[in-house]
Amino acid sequence: MPISLHHLPAGTTSRWAVCHDDKWAEVSGTLAGLLTVPLDQARAMIENAAPFTPAPTSALPPVDLQEIWAAGVTYLRSREGRKEESGHGSVYDQVYDSARPEIFFKASPWRVVGHGDTVGIRADSGWDVPEAEVGLVLNAAGEIFGYTLGNDMSSRAIEGENPLYLPQAKIYDRSCALGPAIVPSWAVGPGPFEITLRVLRENHEVYAGTTSTSAMARSFEDLAEWLFRGLSFPLGVVLLTGTGVVPDADFTTQPGDTIEISSDALGTLTNTVVTVGVP
């Protein structure tokens, strides 16, 4: 990552900092402030950040006041996975082929976990998977400010039982991880981005898969435009863009697993799995 924007703890508050060639600089203000202004102004604020030392040793999820939304069935493999789990094939065929995408609310910012934290699987679900995705960090005008990696943890058992249960399958404590940082759009270009998903169990790889955003049926800009059609985000928003890596039906994550999502352009997001909720 040539330039990356990090959310750092700072006593009882937090601060935003830029890392460029292993040199650190503190941004004046917040991510919300950067996403309120035009893209060229936000870029100037980042490029004028004041240097500081020493390098930070920990980081927070790369959001402050932004909601997280998500798009589904944007890859052919995702469509096939939804059909496989549910028996409601025509629903997902229609979403994949239609002009209007599936977009749903994923998480409030305080429910998001970052790199090195734990992600959750529901105690009342027996079939659960990570979903490795590119997240678009969009400013108030709907422009792509930057990119981050996302893990849209999902209960395939719950969504497969009935598509109307999607909110329960997708929205729960520790169901969304973002990180490790935000890579500004001007620093990395529009992609495509290759994404690799690995699941480790007792230090052994039990699942691995790779995809590329070039396989998406929709563009980043199209998804962003649909999100902003009926919603405003004065402090910015993060939009997860769907997954092209879906484990086979005989795989489920377990407590203690380590989930690793990586991209040469966007870094590596690593989380361990815990159980949340009650059976």
Biggest CA–CA distance in the chain, Å, is: 56
E-assigned strand segments in 33-131? 50-51, 67-72, 102-107, 112-113, 118-122, 128-129
Domain, as residue range, for 210: 67-276
pLDDT of residue 12: 85
Instruction: Kindly state whether residue 227 falls inside one of the protein's structural domains.
Output: yes
The answer on 214 and 175 residing in a single domain is: yes
Q: What is the pLDDT along the chain (279 residues), one digit of tens a residue?
A: 579 999 999 888 899 999 998 899 999 999 999 999 999 999 999 999 999 988 888 899 999 999 999 999 888 766 666 656 666 667 777 877 889 999 999 999 999 999 999 999 999 999 999 999 999 999 999 999 999 999 999 999 999 888 899 999 999 999 999 999 999 999 998 999 999 999 999 999 999 999 999 999 999 999 999 999 999 999 999 999 999 998 988 999 999 999 999 999 999 999 999 999 999
pLDDT of residue 53: 83
pLDDT of residue 230: 95
- Domain count along the chain: 2
Q: How far is CA 42 from CA 23, 48, 233, in A?
A: 19, 10, 16
CB 106 within 8 A of CB 170: yes
In the structure encoding, which two tokens stand for residue 147, read together?
């990119």
Instruction: Kindly state whether residue 59 falls inside one of the protein's structural domains.
Output: no
Closest CA to 137 of 67, 57, 51: 67
CB 223 within 8 A of CB 103: yes
Residue with tokens 């604020």: 45
Instruction: Kindly state whether residue 177 falls inside one of the protein's structural domains.
Output: yes
Residue with tokens 């719950």: 158
The answer on 100 and 37 residing in a single domain is: no
Instruction: Kindly state whether residue 215 falls inside one of the protein's structural domains.
Output: yes
Alpha carbon distance, N-terminus to C-terminus of the chain: 41
Peptide bond into 180 cis (omega under 30): yes
Instruction: Kindly state whether residue 60 falls inside one of the protein's structural domains.
Output: no
Rounded Cα distance between 228 and 223, Å, is: 9
Instruction: Kindly state whether residue 229 falls inside one of the protein's structural domains.
Output: yes
Q: What dihedral angle (degrees, nearest 10) is formed by the CA atoms of 221, 146, 181, 11?
A: -120
pLDDT of residue 38: 96
The answer on 27 and 84 residing in a single domain is: no
Q: What dihedral angle (degrees, nearest 10) is formed by the CA atoms of 250, 194, 76, 208?
A: -10
The answer on 257 and 139 residing in a single domain is: yes
pLDDT of residue 88: 60
The answer on 121 and 82 residing in a single domain is: yes
Instruction: Kindly state whether residue 85 falls inside one of the protein's structural domains.
Output: yes
The answer on 30 and 151 residing in a single domain is: no
Closest CA to 148 of 110, 176, 121: 176
